[in-house]
Amino acid sequence: MGIELKGIVKQVGADTHIYKTDLKLTKGGFNVLLGTTLSGKTTLMRLMAGLEKPNKGEVWFDNKNVTGVAVQKRSVAMVYQAFVNYPSYTVFDNIASPLKVKGVSKSEIKSRVESIADLLKLSPMLNRLPAELSGGQQQRTALARALVKDADLVLLDEPLANLDYKLREELRDELPKLFADSGATVVYATSEPLEALLLGGHTATLYEGKVIQYGETPIIYRSPNNLTSAAIFSDPPINTASITKKEDRFYLSSAINWKVDEPFKNIPDGDYTLGVRPHHLTPENSHDKAVKIEGQVQVTEINGSESVVHVNFGENNWVSESHGIHPYKIGESAELFINIKHSLLFNQQGALVSV
Amino acid sequence: MINKTTNQKAWFLVIPVVLLVAFNALIPLMTVVNYSVQETFGDNIFFWEGAKWFEDVLKSERFHASFLRQLAFTGMILVIEIPLGIAVALAMPKKGFWVSVCLVLMALPLLIPWNVVGAMWNIFALPDIGLLGRSINALGIDYNFTQQPVAAWLTTVAMDVWHWTSLVVLLSYAGLTAIPDAYYQAAKIDGASKWAIFWKIQLPKMKRVLTIAILLRFMDSFMIYTEPFVLTGGGPGNTTTFLSIDLVKVALGQFDLGPAAAMSLIYFFVVLLISWVFYTLMMRNED
Amino acid sequence: MAQITLENLKHSYLPNPKGIDDYALKEINTAWEDGGAYALLGPSGCGKTTLLNIISGLLTPSEGKILFNDKDVTNIPTTERDIAQVFQFPVVYDTMTVYNNLSFPLRNRGYTEDKIRSRVEDVAKMLELEDSLQKRASGLTADGKQKISLGRGLVRESVNVIMFDEPLTVIDPHLKWKLRSKLKELHQRLGTTMIYVTHDQTEALTFADKVVVMHEGTVVQIGTPTELFEHPQHTFVGHFIGSPGMNILPAEINNGEIGFEGSLIKTLSNTSSNKVNGKLEIGIRPEFIHFNSEKTGLPVEITKVSDLGRYKIIEAQHKQHAIKMVAYEDVSIPSESPHITFDPDKTRLYANGWVVS
């Protein structure tokens, strides 16, 4: 059950927007499409909804081939980044619109709209026009309209991007609860890794029209199958450096090297890429196996309780994210420790080296 | 493997329009094409003439004269109406009560039926009883648009400017109000003069809207018939006989359907060509 | 460079304001130091953009004065205040090249070509735009265009203050941090007073030396990021700053002891005891709540755990109160009957929203 894309390709003129993609998204829990702008998230959602036809491949929903079925005939609801509401309808009429189209009775419309409005805290605003509401309230109206439809497939295209960060936090907390009981397949597009981690469920990382990896969110985060996936799922960006393995040591430079851990002892000698997430590069020596590096500070950003330090180290520009206040000055030399235990190793083709 | 997803029933909604357009435009157009390559004296008897009418028209001095007159007229009104329209739009208020008043005032000339416009200006400009005509003569200027070609031209141009500048004003105004405040604020901070703001912010941002305005004014003025016909009848003599007035004279006055049909088609292609070239040039830098 | 002072500043968009609710900016009295990096932080509609426009001169306040270095500039137009402003979306002159865009403010002020060239090249280098100087400005990406907007402010030599009105709004999320660090770097290098308006706490707290938190037209607190984080003066500040924000829970006072749902949290100091009337609440940040392995403290039921890699957000329930906690990567969550304690030093008492101790 759920939606499945089989061998989907989408081309517009000479450009390929989506390369051959196979993706199976399940019901219950959020399916997050994570990627930067222009990575293909919106196109993929439009293909799932039926707003666009794939050039090749099929779209299956609940084990039925729905490729080519007009979107009006499908059970789909979509919420956009821009708050899309009928400007001349009141909030009540906006929420009721999909039910009116279906021909539901007036009394049932009233009860369903009122219960959804209550859920989304819109009850005092039912008689207002969208132009009279704040951004957050407009987006809630759009969400209510999507919810009341009780569609089998709900697509949310970066719906919180135009909201205040605090409002975003609040709505993000509410969204999973709102859709938990609906039994729909929910797909949520975003470019912020934090949102994917907060919403849980499953995540598909996208890059330039290709799905790089798909799986349960915490697993994708902790074991990205390649460097691209790791980079997408990291904000600030993941730190990378070329290292070489020789016998039983890894060499970052002639001065900086460390002993290869047990599981990796038998991988072939050669060049690799080390991936260190910013919070695994800290000013404090967290444990004995940490590797020390020294870099020149470009800028320090302090945020109440955390410090983000940008350093120049060799040819690399690295970022350290740590707890506590560490006010380095520009140009100062900083000692940072890499938590090797949690670092990732990628081979020359960019794939994760796992053992 | 891929089925067409579009709603086939939608085509049924289009049929009435298709029939209407076919009846009112396509069929008459085909008739014109038919006439342009044949000779007829009536009774549905046709003789094939091929390209003869086209050659005749293109070589005829009468055609050249009215074509040049038309170009001059269109050139004049564009040169006056576009800058004037932009200037008026710039002067109009952006917010407040007066906005609606101005917009209504601007819209009024556009609402008057075209032959009424011609008739109005005819009476208005009469040298003896017209307010304008009499006033000009009272100033010592000898003015009579029914007899003097220059006066006829000036009156016709003035009438068109009065009638149609509002269109340019409304379109420019729409373009101007679409410019976000931040641009003006940034220009203030940059210390830009009013002139620089016009050239570097307002005019570039109005490019699309002005393209439409110029295209519309070009097409309409190039095909103008009713107003000058009611005002001057094409005279004095044939000094204000523009292309469409001449065409009607040939077609209905002389009943030379063949040459008239050929002239119509040439006319049509000229308008199409100039419009296309202009539009392509204006839009070539759009991202 | 300028010290900016706001005296009894008030602003209403209505011609005849009657009550305090008609004012978009209710009374503001504050002074900002020369060369500081300030952020105006607050939710939509709190008045931050209004305040910014008053400082830049695009708006004249209904009441009150604004001074640059003790000179009253309230009625002086924008062009003479020597300020620069970067807007929410990039404002570039489409028809000109990047070079001409950057030189525009200098040309308008009559600089010589040589002076213009050296200033433009300096600024282009600072902003990493040197390779694009001859390109048409309209062809750059959003962040390139924002840099041009910023550059036009930087080319001028005497700029009192540079203002940013939510400048990262249109920037791609994965490029935001780059531009953010660039702004911080520029501030540390040039030392010009900079004021940055935003609703995003990360942007405000990482950019500014001091943050001005605004809510419904008033300044609620001005402080360094650390002060705002550890000593929020108002429950609004506690809630707004921090992701997730401070937990605000109802409190009682019994015999000089502050308690929550019958459990003792900490002792009330003598100096504060007379301020304690009205609605009492305690505020405790999720980062300062810990699991208690001895099973003393508050018993809670864990309703949700979100793993964000670096830390986890734990939603717990005690009676009918929802409490959020932040646990760092290596902290383990007890599986059986979890108990929590609030760090007493970091727990704040609020009366009617304002801090008591």
Q: Where are the domains of chain C?
A: 4-239, 244-355
What is the amino acid identity at position B202? Answer: Q
Cα–Cα separations (whole angstroms), residue A111 to A125, A149, B7? 16, 13, 33
Interface mutation vs chain A, best among B2, B4, B6, B8, most A CBs within 10 Å? B2
Which residues of chain C neighbour B202 with C-beta distances below 8 Å? none
Residue C135 has pLDDT above 70, yes or no: yes
* A201: nearest CA partner in chain C: C306
* Tally of CB atoms within 10 A around C275: 15
Interface of B with C in 194-213 (CB under 8 A): 196, 200-201, 204-205
Question: What would the CATH number be for the domain defined by C4-239?
Answer: 3.40.50.300
Q: Which of B95, B97, B190 is best to mutate for the C interface (most C CBs within 10 A)?
A: B190
> Is the predicted pLDDT of residue B6 greater than 60, yes or no?
no
At A336, is the secondary structure helix, strand, or coil? strand
Cα–Cα distance measured from residue A167 to residue B169, given in angstroms and rounded to the nearest whole number: 43
Q: Do B191 and C105 touch (CB under 8 A)?
A: yes
Residues of A in contact with C228 (CB under 8 A): 304
Distance from CA of A279 to the nearest CA of C (A): 6
Write out the two tokens for A192: 């912020």
| Tokens linked to C39 | 């952020």
Would the CB atoms of B192 and C104 count as touching at under 8 Å? yes
Give C99's strand partners: none
Q: What is the largest CA-CA distance in chain A?
A: 77
Contact state of B192 with C108 under an 8 Å Cβ cutoff: yes
Q: Which residue of A has its CA nearest to C166?
A: A164
Instruction: Choose the weakest-confidence range: A167-171, C119-123, C251-255.
Output: C251-255
C180, two tokens: 């953010």
The region of weakest confidence among A134-148, A323-337, B133-147 is A323-337
Q: Which chains touch B (3 or more CB pairs under 8 A)?
A: A, C
Q: Do B191 and C87 touch (CB under 8 A)?
A: no
A125 within 8 A of A47, measured Cβ to Cβ: no
Report the 3 state secondary structure along B165-184. HHHHHHHHHHHHHCCCHHHH
Has residue B173 got a pLDDT over 90? yes
Chains that touch C (3 or more CB pairs under 8 A): A, B
Contact A54 B7 (CB under 8 A): no
Q: Which of A53, A70, A71 sits opposite B2 (nearest CB)?
A: A53
| Strand A306-313 versus strand A291-303 pairing type | antiparallel
A235 contacts C174? CB cut-off 8 A: yes
Average pLDDT, chain C: 85
Instruction: Say whether residue B287 is in contact with chain C using an 8 A CB cutoff.
Output: yes
CB proximity B96 to C under 8 Å: no
CB contact under 8 A, A321 and C310: yes
**DSSP line for A46-76:** HHHHTSS--SEEEEEETTEE-TT--GGGS-E
pLDDT band at C271 (very low <50, low <70, confident <90, very high): low
Give me C13's structure tokens.
Answer: 């968009």
Question: What phi and psi values does residue C42 have, to the nearest 5 degrees?
Answer: 175, 165
pLDDT score recorded for residue C273: 62
Q: How far is B202 from chain A (nearest CA, A)?
A: 27
pLDDT in tens, C282-339: 889 998 888 887 777 888 888 888 888 778 889 988 888 889 999 887 788 887 888 8
Would you list the DSSP string of C226-254? HHHHH--SBHHHHHHSSSS--EEEE-EEE
Alpha-carbon dihedral A189, A191, A197, A200, rounded to 10 degrees: 0
A263-319 confidence digits (pLDDT tens): 777 788 888 888 888 888 888 876 667 788 888 888 787 777 788 888 888 788 888
Torsion of CA C244, C246, C248, C254, to 10 degrees: 140
Q: Which residue has the tokens 């609605």?
A: C279
Which 8-state DSSP code applies to residue B198? I
Chain B residues touching residue C56 (CB < 8 angstroms) = 185, 189
* 3-class DSSP state of C305: strand
pTM recorded for the entire structure: 0.78
Q: Determine which of A321-325, B81-85, B205-209, C4-8 has the lowest per-residue pLDDT on average.
A: A321-325
Q: What is the pLDDT of residues A28-54, one digit of tens each?
A: 778 999 988 778 888 889 888 888 888
The model's pLDDT over A157-194, given as tens digits with 9 standing for 90+, comes to 998 888 878 888 888 888 888 888 778 889 999 988 88
Alpha-carbon distance of A324 to C226, in angstroms, equals: 10
Q: Which of B185, B191, B201 sits opposite C108 (nearest CB)?
A: B191
For B142-160, what is the mean pLDDT? 91
At C159, list the tokens: 């700029």
Nearest to C44 among A134, A298, A302 (CB): A134
B283: tokens are: 């839009």
Structural domains of chain B in order of their starting residue, each with its CATH number: 62-242+275-283 (1.10.3720.10)
What is the C-alpha to C-alpha distance for residues A179 and A187, in angstroms, rounded to an integer?
11
pLDDT value for A156:
92
| DSSP one-letter code for C296 | -
Q: What is the DSSP string of A145-189?
A: HHHHTT-SEEEEESTTTTS-HHHHHHHHHHHHHHHHTT--EEEEE
Residue A65 with chain B: CB contacts under 8 Å: none
Distance CA C3, CA B88 (A): 44
Q: Where are the alpha helices (DSSP H) in A75-125?
A: 91-102, 106-119
Q: What is the pLDDT of residue A268?
A: 84
CA dihedral B18, B19, B20, B21 (to 10 degrees): 50
pLDDT of residue B2: 38
- The one-character DSSP state at C79 is G
What percent of chain B has a predicted confidence (pLDDT) above 90? Answer: 40
Q: Where are the domain boundaries for CATH 3.40.50.300 in chain A?
A: 3-232
Across the interface, whether the CB atoms of A235 and C173 are under 8 A apart is answered yes
Give A100 to chain C, closest Cα distance, Å. 34
Give the orientation angle of helix B207-222 with respect to helix B61-91, to 10 degrees.
Answer: 140
Tell me if B3 and A50 make a contact (CB, 8 A cut-off). Answer: no
Whether residue A72 and residue B7 make contact (CB cut-off 8 A), yes or no, is yes
B1 touching chain A per CB within 8 A: yes
Contact (CB, 8 A) for C180 and C101: no
- The tens digit of pLDDT for each residue in A111-123 reads 989 988 888 888 8
Domain(s) labelled CATH 2.40.50.140 in chain A stretch across 239-346
Strand order in the sheet with C301-307: C301-307, C311-318, C321-328
b/e B213-250 (16+ beta carbons within 10 angstroms → b)? bbeebbeebbbbbbbbbbbbbbbbebbbbbbbbbbebb
Is the Cβ pair B5, A70 closer than 8 Å?
A: yes
Tell me which residue of C160, C157, C197 sits closest to C52, measured CA to CA. Answer: C197
Nearest CA in chain B to A68: B5
Reading across the β-sheet that carries C247-250, which strands appear in turn?
C247-250, C280-284, C348-351, C354-355
The answer to whether the CB atoms of C43 and A166 lie below 8 A apart is yes
Query: B5 — contact with chain A (CB < 8 Å)?
Result: yes
Say whether C229 and A304 touch across the interface (CB within 8 A): yes
What is the pLDDT at residue C275? Answer: 64
Decide if pLDDT at B1 tops 60.
Answer: no
Among partner residues A55, A56, A68, which is closest to B5 by beta-carbon distance? A68
Residue with tokens 């007829």: B40
Residue B174, chain C, CB below 8 Å: the answer is: no
Task: Write down which chains contact chain A via at least 3 CB pairs under 8 A.
Answer: B, C
Interchain CB contact of B178 with C (< 8 Å)? no
CATH of domain A3-232: 3.40.50.300
Instruction: Give the DSSP letter of residue C220.
Output: E
- The Cα–Cα gap between B205 and B209 comes to 9
- Tell me what percent of the residues of chain A surpass a pLDDT of 90: 8
Answer whether A68 sits within 8 Å of B2, measured CB to CB: yes
Residue B3 pLDDT more than 60?
Answer: no
Encoded amino acid at C232, one letter: P
The most confident of A166-180, A234-248, B191-205, C165-179, by mean pLDDT: B191-205
**What percentage of chain C has pLDDT greater than the value 70?**
97
Contact list, C173 vs chain A (CB under 8 Å):
36-37, 191-192, 235
Question: Packing angle between helix A165-180 and helix A135-148, nearest 10 degrees?
Answer: 10
- Give the model's pLDDT for residue B5: 53
Check: CB of residue C282 under 8 Å from CB of residue C347.
Answer: yes
pLDDT band for C24, please (50, 70, 90 cuts).
confident
For residues C286 and C314, what is the distance between their CA atoms, to the nearest angstrom?
9
Confidence band for B286, pLDDT divided at 50, 70 and 90? low
C113 Cβ partners below 8 Å, 6+ apart? Answer: none
Give the model's pLDDT for residue B82: 95
Cα C99 to Cα C132: distance, rounded to the nearest angstrom: 8
If 0-12 CB within 10 Å is exposed, 13-18 middle and 19+ buried, where does residue C261 land? middle
Residue C218: strand pairing partners: C215
Does the pLDDT at position B53 exceed 60?
Answer: yes
Q: How many CB atoms lie within 10 A of CB A266?
A: 8
Nearest to B217 by CA among B115, B87, B82, B88: B82
Chain A residues within an 8 Å CB radius of C245: 166, 169
B6 and A70 within 8 Å at the Cβ level: the answer is yes
> Distance (Å, rounded) from C-alpha A186 to C-alpha A194?
18
Q: What are phi and psi of A255, to 5 degrees?
A: -85, -30
Instruction: Give the chain C residue nearest B287 (alpha carbons).
Output: C139
For A303, the closest of C44, C225, C313 (CB atoms) is C225
> Which pair of structure tokens corresponds to residue C189?
């290098």
What is the per-residue burial (b if ≥16 Cβ within 10 Å, else e) of B255-284? Answer: ebbbbbbbbbbbbeeeeeebbeeeeeebee
For residue C209, give how far its alpha carbon lies from the nearest alpha carbon of chain B (Å). 26
Give the end-to-end CA distance of chain A in Å, rounded to a whole number: 33
Measure CB to CB from residue B189 to each of C83, C96, C138 and give the nearest one. Answer: C83
Average pLDDT over residues C112-133: 88
| Token reading at A254 | 């002639």
- Cα C357 from Cα C349, distance rounded (Å): 5
C89, C170 Cβ separation under 8 angstroms: yes
Q: Answer for the pair B106, B85: CB distance below 8 angstroms, yes or no.
A: no
- What CATH class does A239-346 carry? mainly beta
What CA–CA distance (Å, rounded) separates B286 from B91? Answer: 28
Distance from CA of A113 to the nearest CA of C (A): 28
The confidence score (pLDDT) of residue B287 equals 47
Arithmetic mean of pLDDT over chain A: 85
Rg (CA), chain B: 24
Q: Is B193 on the interface with C (CB under 8 A)?
A: yes
Cα separation of C1 and B208, whole Å? Answer: 42
Q: Which helix (H) or strand (E) holds A325?
A: none
How far is A12 from A55, CA to CA, in rounded Å? 9
> In chain A, whose CA is at the least distance from the CA of B4?
A68
Q: Is the peptide bond before A130 cis (omega within 30 degrees of 0)?
A: no
Predicted confidence at residue C274, as pLDDT, reads: 63
CA distance A114 to chain C (A): 25
Nearest to C215 by CA among C228, C229, C234: C234
Pair A334, A283: CB distance under 8 Å: yes
Q: How many CB pairs under 8 A join A and C?
A: 93
**What radius of gyration, in Å, describes the C-alpha atoms of chain C?**
24
Could you report the predicted ipTM of this complex, rounded to two decimals? Answer: 0.78
Contact B182 C91 (CB under 8 A): yes
How many residues are there in chain C?
Answer: 357
